Structure 1
Amino acid sequence: MAVFSAIVLFVMGAALAFGGGWLVALGGSWYYLIAGLACLVTSALLFVRQPAARTVYALVLAGTLAWALWEVGFDWWPLGTRGGIPVLVGLWLLLPWAAGDGRRWDFGRIALAAVIVVSIGVAGYALTQNPHEKSGTLAAGAGEAVLQAGSVPDGDWHHYGRTLQGQRYSPLTQINPGNVAQLAVAWTYRTGDVRREDDVEETTYQVTPLKVGNLLYLCTPHHIAIALDAATGEERWRFDPEIPLDPNRQHQTCRGVSYFAGTDLQAADEACATRIYLPTSDARLIALDARTGRTCPDFGEDGAVDLWANMPNQKSGYYYSTSPPVVAQGLVIIGGAVNDNYAMDSPSGVIRAYDARSGALVWNWDSGNPERTEPLPPGATYTPNSPNSWSVSSADEELGLVYVPLGNRTPDQLGMGRSDAVERFSSSVVALEIGTGRVRWVFQTVHHDLWDMDVPAQPALLDLTTDQGTRPAIVIPTKQGDIYVLDRATGEPILPVREVPAPGGAIPEDFTAPTQPVSALTFNPSTLRGRDMWGVSLFDQLACRIAFRSLRYEGRYTPPSLEGTLVYPGNFGTFNWGSVAVDPVNQTMFGMPTYVAFTSRLIPADEISPDARANAGEAGLNLNVGGPYGVIMQPFTSPLGLPCHAPPWGYVAGVDLRTGTVAWRHKNGTIRDAAPVPLPIRIGVPGIGGPIITAGGVAFLGAAIDNYLRGYDVATGETLWEQRLPAGGQSTPMTYEADGRQFVVHVAGGHGSIGTDAGDYVIAYALPRN
C-alpha cells in the first residue's frame, strides 16, 4: 500500500509541478509549483517507507489551507475545491497501511491528523458563511401606480411586458407571500411543436403569452400562433404559417405576438376587429383575427407584410424577427434580427412602422441613414449592415415616443469602417416619434462596441420620485451590467452616469474608445484575478489559471485580439432579453444578474480552413465572410466544462430605483440539472429569461439553468415557492385573472444553445379553489 500511496502522490505532484511551473512562467501563483514539488518529495519518502513522509505532507496540507484562506477567505466554494483532494489524500495517508508503518502514531501522523481536523473545521465554518449575499428590505405591496397602464384591465396582459411601458408588473393581489406556497398546477397544454433533429442549434422556446378577455395568445418556436381558453387551457384556434427550416438561420424562436384592440369606428363583431400580429422567422409580419385565428386579408397582401421589402443583401435565413412588435397609436412598429458575424454584407437593421389596419408602410427609420424616415420607393434599399433591434421596444403614447434598444452592426468584434451614424447609434437606446419615426434622443451604452454588447432588453418606463419632483423615467438594463435610469422625455440621466478610462490596444486596423460610460446603478462585477479562477479540484482550477494568464485581459472592455481576449461580463449578458421587472407603485426593480465570462480570438481570414465548421451558433467559429478576420467565441470554461471563474454565477436582486441602491441580493438556482449527479445545491447559476412582479408582493422567475419556476418575496428576495418544470424554463412568465382566480403561466420548452431540456409545455398555476 505504501507503493500505491507513493504512486498517487507522484502523479499528483508531477501534475501540480508541471502545471505550476507553466503558471509561474506566465506570472501566476507559485503555490502549485511548490505544492507539486512537496508532493514529489512525499512520494519519494513513501517509496523508501520513511516516517517523515506524513510530516512533509502535513506541511503541504497546512500550506494549502493558509494559501486558500489568504486567497478567498471563508468563501466555501473556492475554499472547499482548493482543499478537497489534498484533504482526501491526507485522510488516506492517516490509514495504518497507507505509509507501510503499521499502527504507530508518531509525530508525522499526529501532525497530519491535526491539520486535517483544522481543515475540516475551517470548511465547516465556511459553509455557514454567505459572503456574496446581501440582506435587506424593499417596499412592496399594492397601491395606485403613478404611471397609468392605459386601457389594460387589471386581470389582463395585453403586451409583452403587460403594458406598453414594459414593466412586467401586474396589479393583481390574490397571490401573496402568505399563500404563494399553495400554488399548484391548474392546467397544462402541450403545443406539439418540439425541437427537431434538423433544427438549428439555437432553437429555443422563449414566449410570454398575452391575455385578452378570456383568451391567451402565444406562439411556438416555429411560429405557430395559438389561442387558449384562459381558464381551462383548452385550444381555441391555431394558425401555422408553415415556415420552412433554414440552416442559415442563427436563431429559431418566437418571444411573443402582439395585440391590436381596434377602434370604436369598427363593429366589434366584424372580422379582424381585433388582431394578433405574428412575426416570423422567414421575415413576414402576419395579421390574424384575434377571435378566429384566420388571416386578415386587408392587411398587406393576403394578411401579411413582406419584411424583405427594400432590404439589401437578401439571403435566405439572414434576416427575421424573433420578438413581438410594438402596437401603438394605430401603428405596428417592428425591428428584426440579423445573423451576427456571418458576413460583412448583412441586411439592414431598419425599424419600420405599418398601419395596423392596412399594413401600409408609414415610416422607416434606418440608423445608417437616420434623417430619412419617409417610405422608400420601389427599388431603393436601406443601409446595409446598420445596427438592428432584435429585442423588444416599449412606448409612451402620451409623450408620443417609442423606445428602441439597438445592437451593434455585424461583425461585432471588428470596428473599422463604421460610419458616423453607426458609431452614434450602435449599442444604444433611441427614442423615436411614434407618428413619424424621427429621432428625439439617443443614449449610447457602449462606445465603439467591439464585444457584442447590444442593448438586449426591453426598457421599462415608470414615473420616478426624485429631489426635483416626479420625473418620467426609463430603466435600461444592459449586457455589461449597468442599469441606466434616464428621463424618458429627454434622455438625460436621472441616476448619475460617468465616463471612465477603458483599455486600449486594438488590432492595428481598428481602435478603441478612450472612455466608456458607467451608471451609478450597476451590476458590473469586479475585475477578475488569478485567485478568482475555479474548478472542482486543484487540477482543473490550475488549468483555468493557466488559461486566464494566457489570455489578454485588462478588465471590462479589453479589446479583441489575435492571442485571445477574456470578455467579462461575456456577451451572454449580465442582463439579456428577459429584462427586469419594475414596480411603478413602490418604484423598485427585481432583476436576475448573471455572470459568465467568454473568450474571443480573431483569426485572419486566410488562416481559416474552408472545411471548418462555422456559424453553427453564436459560440464557436464565426466567419465574417468578406472581412479580414473571423472570430472564435466560447464560454470561458474548465476542462470539465464548468465556468472557470468562481461561483455564484447567478443572482436575484432587488433595487430601490429612487436612490439606485441594491437592497438585497441572493444566489439563484441550483446545479441539479447541470451536474453529473442531480443534487439541488444552491450555488447560484446562470439563466436567460425574465421576471415578473405583482402587487401582491410576489415576483416570479424561471430562466435559471435548473428546471424550476420560483416565487420570491419582493420585499426580501426570499424564495417562497418553487415548482419543478418538465423542461427548461427559459421564458418570462405572466399572470392574469380568469373566473375569479389569479393564474401564473410559464412556458417550459428549453434553450438550444445552453442545453436545457427541450419541451412544448404551457403550464398554468393557481391557488386551490375555496
Structure 2
Amino acid sequence: MRVLTLCLLLLLGLTLTIGGGMLLALHGSAFYLLSGLVLLLVARGLWRHRRWSSWLYAGWLLALLAWSLWEAGLYGWPLATRLGLPVLLGLLLALPAARRSRPYGYTGPAGWPVLGTSLLLGVVALAGMARHPHETRGRLAAAPSAAPPADTTAPAPGEWPAYGRSTHGQRYSPLQQITAANVGRLQLAWQMQTGDVRLPDDVGETTYEATPLKVGDTLYLCTPHSWALALDADTGKVRWRFDPGAGMEPQRQHQTCRGLSWHAGSATESADGRACAARVFLPSADARLHALDARTGQPCEDFGDHGAIDLTHNMPFKQPGYYYSTSPPLVAGDKVIVAGAVNDNYAVDSPSGVIRAYDARSGRLLWNWDSGNPTRTAPLDPADPGQVYSASSPNSWAVASADEALGLAYFSMGNRTPDQLGMFRSRAEETYASSVVALDLASGQVRWVHQFVHHDLWDMDTPAQPSLLDLDLPQGRTPALVVPTKQGDVYVLDRRTGQALLPIGERPAPRGTDIPGQRLATHQPYSALSFEPPPLREADMWGASLVDQMLCRIQFRRLRYEGRYTPPSLQGSLIYPGNFGTFNWGGVAVDPRRQAMFGMPTYLAFVSTLVPKTQLEGQALNTGEHGLNENKGADYAVELKPFLSPLGVPCQAPPWGTIAAADLRTGMVAYQYRNGTIRDLSPLPVPIRMGVPGIGGPLLTAGGVAFLAAAVDDNFRAYDVDSGKLLWNVRLPAGGQATPMTYLDSRGRQMVVLVAGGHGSIGTRAGDYVLAYTLPGSD
C-alpha cells in the first residue's frame, strides 16, 4: 500500500508539475505547478518517513480548498473536479498501511491531519451540490381566465395537421385533459416500430427527428430513410407505407426527415371521393418532393412527374447528397413551398438555397426566391438547363411558418457555404444570411428581412421555425413572431414589419484575423430576451478530475478566445455558444394564453480551426457537420469539434442543458433549471441530474404541461409550465431526439406521441419506435 501511495503521489506530482509549467508559460494559473512541486515534496517525505509530509499534504488540501472556493464559489460540480482526486488520495494516505515501513512496525507520519482535512473537503464539496448558482427560480404569470380571441385558421382542438400543429408553429395544443395534477399517471397506450433501422453504411447523422401529423383517425410520419407511414391513431397499426427508394449516398451530411405536410384539398374533391383529394407531401433524401394520396399512400399521378418533383431542377451544381429538404415543406392555401438544406463546408460551388412555391395539385412552379438573386421571383423554366439559380446561396433548412391572413411566409435563413470563410459572398447573400425573411405568399417577393448575425463566420444559422402569436403590449394587441437563435438570443418581432417588439441592440465584436481576404463585422446584434451564457474564463474549465481540468485550461489558453463571435483562426478559436446552438431546430413552444415561451437552452463550446489546404495531405476528411471538412474550391478547410477534455467530457463546467420559460411581453426569464441526467453518458448508469445537452423541441398544452424528451439521456419528461417543476419522467427504448405532439383519438382520449429512434451525431441509442401515452381509464 505504501508503494502504491508513493507511486500515485509521484505520478500526480509530476503530471501537475509538467502540465502546470506549460499552463504558467501560457499565462495561466500558477496553482497547478505549485501543487505539483508540493506533492513531489510530500512523496519525498513519505519515502523518508517524515512526519511533516502528512502535515504538508493536509496544508495543501486546505490551500486547494481556499483556491477552489475563490475560483468557483460553493458550487458542487466545479468543487468536485478540483477536490475529488486529492481527497481520494488523502484518504489513501491516511491509512496506516500506506505509512508503514515494514509489516508490523510504524515509523511514518501521523494520518489524522490528512484524514481530517480530506473529510472537510468532502463535506464542503457535498454541501456545494445543494447549490445551483446558474439556475433562475421563479414562476410564469398564471394563464388568464378568459381565452384569447379564437384563431379562425387554427385546426380543430384534437387535430395536429402541421409540424407545429398549424402554420403558426406554436407547438401548443388547446387540449387540457392532461393537467399538471394528473400527468404523473400517464402510461403507455401503444407502441409500434416502423422497421426503418440504422444501417452499417449510414452517414453519421442518421437521426429520428419526425413529429407525426394527425388528421381524422390517422397519424402520418416519416423516417430517416424517407419512408412515409400512415398509422391508426387509436392503435398505431400501419395502414400504409411508402418507400420512395431514396437509396444511400455517403456524401449526405444528414439522413433525416422531420415530418410530412398535409394538404386537405377542396370540399368538392373530398365529396367526390377523388384520388388524392387529400394528400401528404414527403421530401425524400434524394432531393425529390412526393405527393401521396392520404388514404392509400399511392403517388398522386397529377402532381409533377407521376407524383414527384426532382428538386435539383435548375440547380447550378448537382453533386449527389449535397442538397435535400430535411424539414417538411410549408403548405399555405394551395401552394406547397419547399426550401432545402445545403451541405456545410463541402464545396464553394454547391447547390442553391432557393425557396420554391409549387401548385399543391399539379406541381407547377409558381415562383422561386433565391437569396443570391432576390428580386428575380418569376419561375425559371425547369426544362431549360441554361436557367440556373445562384450557387451556394444561403438556404433555409428549418421549418417555415405562415400567416395567411397577412399573406406572408416566414423562413429562417442559414448561411452561404463555406460558413467560416466570408470572401465568397455577394451583397445580396450578406443581406439575407442568418436572418428571418418574410416572403409574399402570392409572388415570393421579399416584404421584410431581419438579420441576427452580420457577416456570419460561425455557422450561426437561424435554426428553428418562427412561432407566431399575438401579444398584449402597451400599444395594444400586436401580431408577433418569435425566433430563437443558436447564440441564445430570442427575438420578438412584429410579424407585419419585422420591427423589434422587445429591445435589440448592437455590441462591438472581436477584431483581427489571420486569413487573407477575410473581413469581420465591427458590431453584432443582441436581444433583450436572451439565454446567452456569460463568457468563459479559465476558472470555468472542468473535465472529470484535477488533471484533465488542467489539460482543459491548457487548451483554453492555446485557443483564441475573445468572447462571443471570436473569429475562426489558424490557431483554433473557441466558439461559445458553439454551432450546436443554445437553440437548434427544436426551437421553442409558445403559449398564446400565457403569452410565454418554453424551451431548452443548451450550452456547449466548440473549437473552430481553419486548416490551409497545403496541410491536408494524409488527413481524413469528414462527411458530417463536425470534423474536418474540405471546403473544395477554397484555400482553407475547416475543422469543427466540441471542446472536450482528454476523457471526452466537456471542458466547461455544467450545466450543459436546461429548461427555461420567459414572458414574451416583458422579456423576463421566469425560471431556468438543469435538464437531464448523465445516466446514459456515464459508464455507470447513475441518474445524476447535472443538466445535459439535447436536440429536439418541446410541446405545450392548455393543461399547463410542457412535454420534452430531446436530452441525451433516454427519458421523456413532463414539466409544470408555471413553475418548471418536473412532474413525470419515463425511460425510452431509444433516444428521443424529436418533438412530441398530442391529439384526441376516436374515444376522446388525449394522446401524447413521441418518435424515439436516436441521433447519430450525439450518440444516443438507435431505434425505430413510435410511442403513445395516455391517462389510464380516460375516455
Relative distance call for 1:249 and 1:97 in structure 2 (3 A) is: same
Q: Tell me the residue number matched to 1:568.
A: 576
CA distance in 1, matches of 2:150, 2:118: 61
Percent identity, aligned pairs only, is 59
Q: Give the SS at the match of 1:578.
A: coil
**8 Å contact 2:189–2:773 — kept in the other structure?**
yes
Letter in 2 for 1:520: A
Tell me whether 1:622 sits opposite 2:622 in the alignment: no
- Could you list the per-position Cα deviations for residues 287-311 of structure 1 after superposition, in whole angstroms to 9, with x for gaps in the alignment? 0111111111111110111111111
Q: Tell me the residue number matched to 1:434.
A: 441
CA distance in 2, matches of 1:653, 1:267: 43
Q: Tell me the residue number matched to 1:546.
A: 554
CA distance in 1, matches of 2:40, 2:94: 18
- Could you list the per-position Cα deviations for residues 605-649 of structure 1 after superposition, in whole angstroms to 9, with x for gaps in the alignment? 12211x532132111110001101001110100111111100000
CA distance in 2, matches of 1:261, 1:150: 13
Deviation at 1:104, TM superposition (A): 7.9
Q: Tell me the residue number matched to 1:173.
A: 176
Q: Write out aligned runs for 1:327-342 (5 A).
A: 327-342=331-346
Q: Tell me the residue number matched to 1:741.
A: 749
Q: Tell me the residue number matched to 1:56.
A: 56
CA distance in 2, matches of 1:345, 1:147: 48
Q: Tell me the residue number matched to 2:158.
A: 155
CA distance in 1, matches of 2:131, 2:105: 38
Q: Give the SS at the match of 1:630.
A: strand
**8 Å contact 1:335–1:350 — kept in the other structure?**
yes
**8 Å contact 1:495–1:520 — kept in the other structure?**
yes
Q: Tell me the residue number matched to 1:299.
A: 303
CA distance in 2, matches of 1:316, 1:117: 62
Deviation at 1:105, TM superposition (A): 12
Tell me whether 1:756 sits opposite 2:760 in the alignment: no
Relative distance call for 1:592 and 1:103 in structure 2 (3 A) is: farther
Q: Tell me the residue number matched to 1:81.
A: 81
**8 Å contact 1:329–1:434 — kept in the other structure?**
no
Deviation at 1:108, TM superposition (A): 5.6
**8 Å contact 2:138–2:723 — kept in the other structure?**
yes
- Could you list the per-position Cα deviations for residues 117-164 of structure 1 after superposition, in whole angstroms to 9, with x for gaps in the alignment? 321221232122121222211135585234616141000001100011
Q: Give the SS at the match of 2:773.
A: strand
Q: Tell me the residue number matched to 1:40.
A: 40
Tell me whether 1:598 sits opposite 2:601 in the alignment: no
Q: 2:347 aligns with which of 328, 343, 347?
A: 343
- Could you list the per-position Cα deviations for residues 369-400 of structure 1 after superposition, in whole angstroms to 9, with x for gaps in the alignment? 00010001322000011000111000000000
Tell me whether 1:699 sits opposite 2:699 in the alignment: no
Letter in 2 for 1:613: A
Tell me whether 1:247 sits opposite 2:250 in the alignment: yes
Q: Give the SS at the match of 2:96.
A: coil
TM-score for both structures, normalised by structure 2:
0.97
TM-score for both structures, normalised by structure 1:
0.98
Q: 1:663 aligns with which of 670, 679, 692?
A: 670
Q: Tell me the residue number matched to 1:138.
A: 140
Letter in 2 for 1:303: G
CA distance in 2, matches of 1:585, 1:485: 16
Choose 632-641 or 137-146, whichever is displaced more.
Answer: 137-146
Q: Write out aligned runs for 1:711-750 (5 A).
A: 711-738=718-745, 739-750=747-758
Q: Give the SS at the match of 1:618.
A: coil
CA distance in 1, matches of 2:277, 2:622: 43
CA distance in 2, matches of 1:243, 1:116: 61
Tell me whether 1:208 sits opposite 2:211 in the alignment: yes
CA distance in 2, matches of 1:662, 1:204: 31
Deviation at 1:452, TM superposition (A): 0.2
Q: Give the SS at the match of 2:659.
A: strand
Deviation at 1:769, TM superposition (A): 1.3
Q: Give the SS at the match of 2:188.
A: strand
- Could you list the per-position Cα deviations for residues 168-206 of structure 1 after superposition, in whole angstroms to 9, with x for gaps in the alignment? 000000000111011011001110000000111111010
**8 Å contact 1:709–1:723 — kept in the other structure?**
yes
Letter in 1 for 2:485: T
Letter in 2 for 1:459: P
Letter in 1 for 2:345: N
- Could you list the per-position Cα deviations for residues 639-688 of structure 1 after superposition, in whole angstroms to 9, with x for gaps in the alignment? 11111100000000011111111101110000011111111110000000
Q: Give the SS at the match of 2:97.
A: coil
Deviation at 1:535, TM superposition (A): 1.3
**8 Å contact 1:146–1:462 — kept in the other structure?**
no
Letter in 2 for 1:534: W
**8 Å contact 1:147–1:584 — kept in the other structure?**
no
Deviation at 1:276, TM superposition (A): 0.2
Tell me whether 1:194 sits opposite 2:197 in the alignment: yes
CA distance in 1, matches of 2:528, 2:154: 34
CA distance in 2, matches of 1:482, 1:645: 20
Tell me whether 1:418 sits opposite 2:425 in the alignment: yes
Letter in 2 for 1:721: W
**8 Å contact 2:99–2:106 — kept in the other structure?**
no
Q: Tell me the residue number matched to 1:12.
A: 12
Tell me whether 1:577 sits opposite 2:585 in the alignment: yes
Q: Give the SS at the match of 1:353.
A: strand
Letter in 2 for 1:13: G
Q: Tell me the residue number matched to 2:223.
A: 220
Q: Write out aligned runs for 1:362-377 (5 A).
A: 362-377=366-381
CA distance in 1, matches of 2:302, 2:296: 16
Q: Write out aligned runs for 1:498-577 (5 A).
A: 498-506=505-513, 507-577=515-585
Q: Give the SS at the match of 2:458.
A: coil
**8 Å contact 1:149–1:163 — kept in the other structure?**
no
Q: Give the SS at the match of 1:313.
A: coil
Relative distance call for 1:53 and 1:267 in structure 2 (3 A) is: closer
Query: 5+ residue gaps in structure 2?
Result: none
Tell me whether 1:311 sits opposite 2:318 in the alignment: no
Deviation at 1:107, TM superposition (A): 8.7
CA distance in 2, matches of 1:671, 1:303: 46
- Could you list the per-position Cα deviations for residues 579-598 of structure 1 after superposition, in whole angstroms to 9, with x for gaps in the alignment? 10000111011000001111
**8 Å contact 1:392–1:458 — kept in the other structure?**
yes
Letter in 2 for 1:587: Q
Choose 138-147 or 444-453, whichever is displaced more.
Answer: 138-147
Aligned residues: 769
**8 Å contact 1:647–1:683 — kept in the other structure?**
yes
**8 Å contact 1:622–1:630 — kept in the other structure?**
yes
Tell me whether 1:456 sits opposite 2:458 in the alignment: no
Q: Tell me the residue number matched to 2:95.
A: 95
Choose 122-131 or 753-762, whichever is displaced more.
Answer: 122-131
Q: Flag as ranges the 4+ runs of structure 1 deviating above 4 A.
A: 101-108, 140-143
CA distance in 2, matches of 1:194, 1:79: 42
Deviation at 1:470, TM superposition (A): 1.1
Q: Tell me the residue number matched to 2:65.
A: 65
Letter in 2 for 1:53: S
Q: Tell me the residue number matched to 1:679.
A: 686
Deviation at 1:266, TM superposition (A): 2.4
Deviation at 1:278, TM superposition (A): 0.5
CA distance in 1, matches of 2:531, 2:149: 27
**8 Å contact 2:170–2:589 — kept in the other structure?**
yes
Q: 2:115 aligns with which of 103, 113, 116?
A: 113
CA distance in 2, matches of 1:12, 1:117: 20
Deviation at 1:100, TM superposition (A): 2.6
Q: 1:494 aligns with which of 496, 501, 516?
A: 501
Q: 1:647 aligns with which of 627, 632, 654?
A: 654
Q: Tell me the residue number matched to 1:465.
A: 472
Q: Give the SS at the match of 1:53.
A: helix
**8 Å contact 1:173–1:695 — kept in the other structure?**
yes
- Could you list the per-position Cα deviations for residues 306-358 of structure 1 after superposition, in whole angstroms to 9, with x for gaps in the alignment? 11111111111111111001100210011001111001100000000001111
Q: Tell me the residue number matched to 2:774.
A: 766
